């Protein structure tokens, strides 16, 4: 859309770059634009370079932006710069004047608006604004759009569509995470909320900027892959989940769940409405979003709408499984519930690990595995199954009295006692960390998870912290940083630098991916759960 068809009030205040022209050249936000040898600042080529400097810097936004264009004498105009390179001024007078005051007096009187002036021509406001734009663009050498910029043959010069590029590299101002270098391959402004960033399949990272723009970047290069303005009301944590069997990027919001299908090349946002039942909590532990509703009810999404089911008394909904959800009780009985059920179906019995054991916690992970915690004679037993009702993969004892104090069995929003990554590469239940795919388990007294991502977990321990993977458990120097995420061995770390919070992409200091010895599968231990020596209690 050309700039003269854009309402300036609809353009966000950020970014607002300043383009200035002076005897020492053209600058964007104080940074000089390097001109090729022989380019005259008064030429159309110089104007085109100034335009490209602004347009290419903000091409990733793919929307109009505000620009402040400052003349050599200090006069400044606020303009709207459209993606096609056209401009329109905001208002009909400068926003800054040399010496802090206007150099031109406002003309008083004259014919009413829309009537003829002394020259016999109509005085139209739109035409007047175009004239102002021509004046601003010519004097400032901005040369943007079709108003003033001309090429050598007299035809209009259009800005070149510069493809997204890698953000600049940067030095980390704090100690990096273990085995990572302090030089980031790229760095950008970080979201204020750490929860508004997550990994996507294909070595991508998704984040919500402070300007409420959803950005998806290549984690290795930082190059923008696609972006969309966040729909109004979307304000939660980003998750990778499934809707009707399709992988999506989802975010909680006011009145519903917003999502983008990962296979949709147009990246259109969609919304599923929550049921009108009052407060709705959403659990993303599992294959699909589970709606936790009041009054012994729960819900799931199927075929474009929320389905509500009654949960048996004494039972808890633990997972949405496509066209149905699962509920279990402390005796180990499990129900498959559908909104189309006329009567409550008969339950099946879970394989109880020890006769008389009481189920304390249960979650179906996104890969279908079933993670449980049981109480038996004062001891806690964590058992991993292939699937609900399926074969046992391994078990391990632990002690965590916190599990007994909670009345809920299933996953809850922000539950510190039952957590899992969207890709099911690592989970935590009570004081135990489980890597389900191998499986490998560790126990940590009073486990406090700091970060878990792609088969890696950082836990706070005795004033310091530890790093855990399926292959090692290591104490970490308190000076070393904890990343927000690790995606394909790239650590993403947010920290402050010069009054800004930047997101740094760090690679291993040795430049290598995990070694073959790290990729080897651990041997099973005596408990039946695969384990490295470090994970043995």
CA distance linking residue 187 with residue 204, whole number of Å: 15
Greatest mean pLDDT range, 104-108, 351-355, 370-374? 370-374
H or E segment and range at residue 251: strand 246-253
The token pair that represents 245 in the structure block: 């069997």
- Chain centre to alpha carbon of residue 68: 30
Does residue 513 carry a pLDDT above 80? no
Does residue 453 carry a pLDDT above 70? yes
The token pair that represents 387 in the structure block: 């699937």
Does residue 535 carry a pLDDT above 60? no
Q: Can you give the three-state secondary structure of 469-525, one letter per residue? A: CCCCEEEECCCCCCCCEEECCEEEEEEEECCEEEEEEECECCCCCCCHHHHCCCCEC
Domain count, the chain: 2
Q: What 3-state DSSP class applies to 335? A: strand
CA dist 375 → 359, 372, 379, 385, 398 (Å): 6, 10, 6, 17, 10
For the chain, give me the number of helices (H) and strands (E)? Answer: 3, 40
CA dist 148 → 18, 44, 178, 325, 512 (Å): 19, 9, 55, 63, 52
More confident site: 508 or 69: 508
- Per DSSP, 461 falls in state E
Please measure the distance between the N-terminal and C-terminal CA atoms of the chain and give it in whole angstroms: 64
CA distance linking residue 258 with residue 97, whole number of Å: 46
Task: Classify residue 363: in a domain, yes or no.
Answer: yes
Could you tell me the pLDDT band of residue 197, with boundaries at 50, 70 and 90?
Answer: very high
H or E segment and range at residue 155: none
Q: What 3-state DSSP class applies to 129? A: helix
pLDDT digits (tens, 9 = 90+) for 271-305: 999 999 878 999 999 999 999 999 999 999 999 99
Could you tell me the pLDDT band of residue 79, with boundaries at 50, 70 and 90?
Answer: confident
Residue 231: Cβ-neighbour burial (10 angstroms; 0-12, 13-18, 19+): middle
Task: Classify residue 346: in a domain, yes or no.
Answer: no
Task: Classify residue 193: in a domain, yes or no.
Answer: no
Q: Does residue 175 contact residue 463 with C-beta atoms inside 8 Å?
A: no
Q: Can you give the three-state secondary structure of 372-416, one letter per residue? A: EEEEECCEEEEEEECCCCCCEEEEEEECCHHHHHCCCCCCCCCCC
Does residue 517 carry a pLDDT above 60? no
Q: What 3-state DSSP class applies to 357? A: coil
pLDDT digits (tens, 9 = 90+) for 44-54: 566 666 766 77
More confident site: 59 or 532: 59
Flag the least confident range among 31-35, 44-48, 97-101, 355-359: 97-101
pLDDT at 412: 81
Buried/exposed 305-325: b ≥16 CB within 10 Å, e otherwise? ebbebebbeebbbbbbbebbb
pLDDT at 132: 41
Flag the least confident range among 106-115, 232-241, 394-403, 440-449: 106-115
User: Among 125, 140, 155, where does a domain finish?
Assistant: 140
Mean pLDDT of 98-102: 49
Radius of gyration of the chain (CA): 30
Q: What 3-state DSSP class applies to 341? A: coil
Task: Classify residue 25: in a domain, yes or no.
Answer: yes
Could you tell me the pLDDT band of residue 216, with boundaries at 50, 70 and 90?
Answer: very high
Flag the least confident range among 128-132, 356-360, 458-462: 128-132
Task: Classify residue 158: in a domain, yes or no.
Answer: no
Does residue 171 carry a pLDDT above 90? yes
With a pLDDT cut of 90, the percent of the chain lying above it is 50
User: Among 140, 157, 177, where does a domain finish?
Assistant: 140
CA distance linking residue 298 with residue 307, whole number of Å: 8
Q: Does residue 65 contact residue 18 with C-beta atoms inside 8 Å?
A: no
Q: Does residue 353 contact residue 374 with C-beta atoms inside 8 Å?
A: yes
pLDDT at 449: 94
Task: Classify residue 350: in a domain, yes or no.
Answer: no
Buried/exposed 483-497: b ≥16 CB within 10 Å, e otherwise? bbbbbebbbbbbeee
pLDDT at 46: 63
Whether the CA torsion 239, 240, 242, 246 is positive or negative: it is positive
Contacts 24+ apart (CB under 8 A), 109-117: none
Does residue 86 carry a pLDDT above 50? yes
Mean pLDDT of the chain: 80
Flag the least confident range among 37-46, 168-177, 340-349: 37-46
CA distance linking residue 18 with residue 71, whole number of Å: 11
Residue from 226, 235, 238 nearest 265 by CA: 226
Does residue 536 carry a pLDDT above 90? no
pLDDT at 91: 79
pLDDT at 110: 38
Mean pLDDT of 437-457: 93
pTM summary value = 0.68
CA distance linking residue 311 with residue 441, whole number of Å: 32
H or E segment and range at residue 157: none
Task: Classify residue 11: in a domain, yes or no.
Answer: yes
pLDDT at 268: 93
Mean pLDDT of 381-409: 91
pLDDT at 98: 58
User: Among 120, 140, 160, where does a domain finish?
Assistant: 140
More confident site: 154 or 403: 403
H or E segment and range at residue 126: helix 125-140
Does residue 131 carry a pLDDT above 50? no
Task: Classify residue 113: in a domain, yes or no.
Answer: yes
Does residue 149 carry a pLDDT above 70? no
Does residue 529 carry a pLDDT above 80? no
The token pair that represents 82 in the structure block: 């459209």
pLDDT at 433: 96
Mean pLDDT of 444-463: 91
- Domain residues for the domain of 409 are 359-483+507-537
């Amino acid at each position: 859309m050309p700039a003269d068809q854009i309402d300036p009030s609809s353009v966000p205040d950020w970014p607002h770059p300043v383009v200035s022209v002076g005897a020492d050249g053209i600058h964007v936000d104080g940074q000089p634009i390097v001109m090729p040898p022989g380019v005259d600042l008064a030429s159309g080529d110089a104007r085109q370079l100034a335009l490209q400097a602004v347009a290419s810097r903000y091409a990733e936004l793919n929307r109009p932006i505000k620009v402040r264009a400052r003349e050599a004498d200090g006069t400044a105009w606020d303009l709207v710069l459209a993606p096609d390179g056209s401009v329109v001024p905001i208002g009909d007078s400068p926003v800054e004047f040399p010496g802090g005051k206007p150099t031109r007096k406002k003309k008083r009187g004259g014919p009413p608006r829309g009537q003829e002036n002394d020259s016999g021509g109509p005085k139209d406001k739109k035409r007047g604004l175009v004239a102002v734009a021509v004046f601003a663009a010519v004097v400032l050498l901005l040369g943007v759009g079709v108003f003033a910029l001309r090429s050598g043959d007299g035809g209009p010069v259009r800005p070149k569509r510069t493809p997204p590029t890698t953000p600049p590299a940067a030095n980390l101002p704090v100690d990096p995470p273990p085995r990572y270098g302090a030089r980031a391959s790229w760095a950008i402004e970080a979201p204020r909320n750490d929860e508004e960033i997550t990994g996507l399949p294909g070595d991508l990272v998704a984040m919500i900027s402070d300007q409420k723009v959803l950005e998806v970047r290549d984690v290795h290069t930082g190059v923008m892959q696609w972006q969309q303005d966040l729909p109004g009301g979307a304000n939660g944590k980003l998750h990778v989940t499934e809707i009707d069997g399709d992988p999506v990027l989802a975010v909680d919001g006011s009145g519903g769940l917003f999502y983008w299908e990962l296979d949709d090349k147009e990246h259109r946002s969609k919304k599923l409405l929550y049921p009108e039942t009052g407060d709705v909590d959403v659990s993303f532990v599992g294959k699909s979003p589970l709606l936790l509703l009041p009054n012994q009810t729960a819900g799931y999404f199927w075929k474009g709408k929320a389905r509500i089911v009654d949960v048996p008394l004494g039972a808890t909904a633990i997972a949405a499984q496509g066209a149905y959800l699962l509920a279990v009780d402390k005796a180990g009985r499990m129900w498959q519930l559908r909104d189309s059920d006329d009567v409550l179906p008969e339950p099946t019995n879970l394989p109880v690990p020890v006769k008389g054991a009481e189920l304390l916690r249960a979650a179906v992970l996104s890969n279908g595995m079933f993670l449980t915690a049981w109480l038996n004679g004062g001891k806690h037993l964590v058992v991993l199954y292939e699937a609900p009702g399926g074969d046992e993969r391994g078990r391990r004892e632990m002690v965590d009295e916190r599990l007994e104090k909670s009345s809920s069995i299933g996953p809850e929003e922000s539950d510190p006692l039952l957590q899992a990554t969207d890709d099911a590469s690592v989970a935590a239940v009570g004081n135990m960390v489980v890597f389900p795919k191998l499986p490998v388990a560790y126990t940590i007294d009073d486990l406090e998870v700091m970060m878990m991502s792609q088969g890696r977990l950082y836990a706070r321990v005795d004033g310091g912290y530890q790093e855990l993977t399926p292959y090692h458990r290591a104490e970490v120097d308190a000076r070393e940083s904890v990343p927000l995420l690790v995606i394909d061995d790239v650590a993403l770390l947010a920290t402050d630098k010069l009054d800004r919070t930047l997101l740094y992409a760090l690679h291993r200091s040795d430049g290598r991916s995990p070694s073959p010895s790290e990729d080897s599968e651990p041997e099973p231990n005596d408990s039946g759960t695969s384990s490295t020596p470090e994970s043995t209690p």
